[in-house]
Amino acid sequence: MAEIEEITLEEWERLRKELLEVRQVAQILNYSVSHIYRLIDEGRILAVRRGGRWFIPRQSVEDYLRDHTEASM
């Protein structure tokens, strides 16, 4: 999985404001939650696992949208 390995508490606090939950990303992309997990597993969307939950940086979603849009042109 595309995962940021170890992050400090300070980094986590800074990043937390820029992170989305899997269900939020599913709504944004109009995909199922299971499809978002598949994208994480395939490394197509970067995610951070914290406390048993996955969080996705907003930039990763923007990158995916840009790449996906360019690929379909």
> With 70 as the cut, is the pLDDT of residue 41 above it?
yes
What is residue 49's DSSP assignment?
E
∠ CA 43-50-55, rounded to 5°: 50
Structure tokens at 5: 């390995």
CATH code, residues 10-71:
1.10.10
Spatial distance between the Cα atoms of 19 and 17, rounded to a whole number of angstroms: 6
Structure tokens at 10: 């300070």
Domain boundaries, the chain: 10-71
The rounded mean pLDDT for the chain is: 86
pTM of the model: 0.75
